[in-house]
Chains A and B, each alone.
Chain A
Amino acid sequence: MYKYDQYDQSIVDARVDEFRDQARRRLAGEITEDQFKPLRLKNGLYLQLHAYMLRVAIPYGTLDSRQMRKLAYIARTYDRGYGHFTTRQNIQYNWIKLEEAPDILADLATVEMHAIQTSGESIRNVSSDQYAGASADEIADPRPWAELIRQATTFHPEFSYLPRKFKIAVIASAEDRAAMRLHDIGLRLVANDAGDLGFEVYVGGGMGRTPFIAPLIRAFLPVDHLFSYCEAVLRVWNRTARRDNIHKQRVKILVHQMGAEAFAAAVEAEWQEILPNKSDVPRAEFDRIAAYFTPPAFEAGDREPDRADPDFAVWLDQNVKPHKHPGYAIVNISLKPIGGIPGDASADQIDLMADLAERHSFDELRVTHAQNIVLPHVRKADLYTIWQALVDAGLAESNLDLISDIIACPGLDYCSLANARSIPVAQKIATRFAGRQRDLGELKLKISGCINACGHHHAGHIGILGVDKKGTENYQLLLGGSGAEDASLGKITGPGFSEDGIVDAIERVTDQYIAVRQDGERFLDTYRRVGMDGFKEAIYG
């Protein structure tokens, strides 16, 4: 894992001092709320329905037990004893006081953490594959590149008052576990025929009210030019995007309007202008960063765990994934207990996960975009011990990628933008389908409480969008989305439903799937074969 040196620490400490001064000036009335808003947003502080919400960056979703324990400490000390892990691999706290926010940042800085650029019209925390460094299908660990991007995009002077937010994801395998093509820039590390590493560069993906899957704008960018090329993308967008309508200012709109080819040509031309600036980070610096991501000292030996306990065997089959090193496994800890709030964890649970990581996973944890936690490097011999500890903590739900492993935004229970509640719908669906979810197989269900799509409903095999219909909450149903390597956007089935009606409608959809599925087909495969017509009558009669 990356460790700060004196420079990184100095920058984060200075940021604490800066935000403390900005908050002081706001509380003293020296700056208006309108002037303060972008300043606090650049530091992840939102004003929600009931309180301030603070979003803390977990760069590319990787953290150690010391950092995880600090997150628990913050939940206990400044919030109501829990935190909410987000779809961008971060954590947010929903009950924060502005007066205390600078102290939280100071606490975070003691464990090499911050809330820099977790919100606002800035380059956001870079996301990556939660199995990085552990999965056999990667060509290299993508996290050194992600860390390089983190540093290069932190307080970038030219790109800190952007048209809108800007999200970058980096992956290094064919399987996409990070929804890479739904980012403003999606990067996939590949090797060319000569064996050199480069990036496929996708630009202009995103969800929100106008979803797009990012088109490929460069098939092979030599790795040494990663940053200058990103700067070219950002500069083209910063200079030419609309500034008159906040809903049309994301880079996805510009790429769509120009066309991918014309946008790519504009980026290439700008890149030629930027190259002489020599802003690319040199290979020696990449090597310095990469040294922090050297694989841990795995022990030899490979012993399969004893499957005698049937509940343990179910968890093994559902939540534990193969590791690149024999004798080890990747453990997914579900934060989706049946009837719980997706992504929430109590301070005690956060502490327990930190303990398990320290004892059994080379002190590493990951946050996933599906709002779960991963222990990336677990000896197979330790799996049963870990599972027992998770059972005791209420963290052993065996539902990874099943219908109750729901992504949901905070919705109208917390969010000032929401039109409808997301959490109660997620709870009802999980409760209704818990008994037969294993029969339904992989089924990614995602719920957003408004068209801003924080709950990724466009990318759900089944998506739910909460809207306001004449003062009552109404839920639209979408089918056929995917955020994986086979990315696609879901289509709306037809008229929406009430809160209970949407749960019934999903039952009709899943019944229809079971009736028509062919051998081995996932829900998404069946949908793609039979189309919306194959489901419509079942849903609406």
Chain B
Amino acid sequence: MTDLLRFRTDAAHEEPAVSLDAFVEGQANASAVRLEAGDDARVLIPYLDRIMLVEIGFPKFRDGRGYSSARILREAGYTGELRAAGDVLVDQIDFMRRCGFDAFAPDAPIDEAVLTRSLERYDYHYQPAADAIVPVWKLRHG
């Protein structure tokens, strides 16, 4: 595990994350939950006001289920830390940010220079997502 990469100004949440099963089966007071790629993020929706960290596991970088999980949580109003953990590569972070991830715990170090350039590269995006970016169609029509 390498350094945590955060795009939040609050302090990192230190409580260890419990699994979704553990959370559902009695640890519903936990404030940090880890979702595996195949877990149903919607199970957490009733509890989002008291969760401070959701960590979503990426077993392989090609497994894109976590992108949908992230958006579902953000669309449900979750504002706490949303962390992508595991096989997370530099070329994915831009899309992950757009889906609502604001923290990254990659297995291998991320090249910061490449990342900075990657996050600044695209001035425009075609679709709205879980971030504040205004889609191109809105720019075209005011």
A residues contacting B by CB (< 8 A) are: 5, 7-8, 10-11, 14, 17-18, 21-22, 25, 30-31, 35, 38-39, 121, 151-152, 154-163, 235, 238-239, 243, 273, 276-279, 281-282, 284-285, 288
Contacts and interface: CB of A to CB of B under 8 A. Distances in A.
Nearest to A284: B141
A30 B126 contact: no
B136 interface: yes
Given A7-B136, A157-B95, A273-B75, A162 B64 contact: yes
Given A238-B65, A281-B137, A152 B91 contact: no
Given A25-B114, A152-B127, A14 B122 contact: yes
Nearest to A274: B75
B125 interface: yes
A285 B129 contact: no
B12 to A, nearest CB: 24
A5 to B, nearest CB: 7
A5 B140 contact: yes
A96 B58 CA distance: 33
Interface string B121-142: 1111111110000001101110
A274 B34 CA distance: 24
User: Chain B: interface secondary structure?
Assistant: helix
Nearest to A37: B62
Nearest to B41: A239
B129 A157 contact: yes
B68 interface: yes
A157 B98 contact: yes
Contacts of B40: 239
B37 A243 contact: yes
Contact of A277 (B61, B64, B99, B128): B128
B91 to A, nearest CB: 6
Nearest to B96: A157
A38 B62 CA distance: 8
Contact of B129 (A14, A158, A238, A239): A158
B89 interface: yes
A455 B99 CA distance: 37
Contacts of B129: 157-158
A375 to B, nearest CB: 31
B67 interface: yes
A103 to B, nearest CB: 18
B114 A21 contact: yes
Given A18-B118, A243-B37, A158 B67 contact: yes
Interface in B1-42: 37-38, 40
Which of B68, B72, B99, B118 is packed against the most chain A CB atoms within 10 Å? B68
B65 A11 contact: no
Contacts of B37: 243
Closest 6 CB pairs of A and B: A161-B64, A157-B98, A157-B95, A285-B137, A7-B136, A151-B126
Contacts of A5: 140
A22 B122 CA distance: 15
Contact of A151 (B71, B72, B117, B136): B136
A30 B139 contact: no
Interface in B62-91: 62-65, 67-69, 71-72, 75, 89, 91
B141 A285 contact: yes
B140 A161 contact: no
A221 B139 CA distance: 26
Contact of A238 (B68, B91, B121): B68
Given A14-B121, A239-B68, A154 B126 contact: yes
Contacts of A22: 91
B112 interface: no
A39 B91 CA distance: 8
Contacts of A161: 61-64, 67, 92, 95
A273 B40 CA distance: 14
A22 B61 CA distance: 16
Nearest to A158: B67
A167 to B, nearest CB: 17
Given A11-B126, A157-B127, 18 more contacts: A5-B140, A7-B124, A11-B125, A14-B121, A18-B118, A21-B114, A38-B61, A121-B62, A155-B122, A155-B125, A157-B95, A159-B67, A239-B40, A239-B65, A239-B69, A243-B63, A273-B75, A276-B75
A279 B137 contact: no
B141 A158 contact: no
Contacts of A157: 67, 94-96, 98-99, 125, 127, 129
Nearest to A18: B121
Contact of B124 (A10, A39, A121, A279): A10
Contacts of B95: 155, 157-158, 160-161
Given A25-B114, A30-B111, A235 B125 contact: no
A11 B127 CA distance: 12
Contacts of A11: 122, 124-126, 136
B121 A17 contact: yes
A115 B69 CA distance: 29
Contacts of A285: 137, 140-141
A346 to B, nearest CB: 36
A11 B125 CA distance: 8
A278 B140 CA distance: 16
Contacts of A279: 127-128
Nearest to B59: A243
A8 B126 CA distance: 9
Given A21-B117, A151-B136, A281-B137, A158 B71 contact: yes
Given A11-B122, A21-B117, A156 B140 contact: no
A21 B62 CA distance: 20
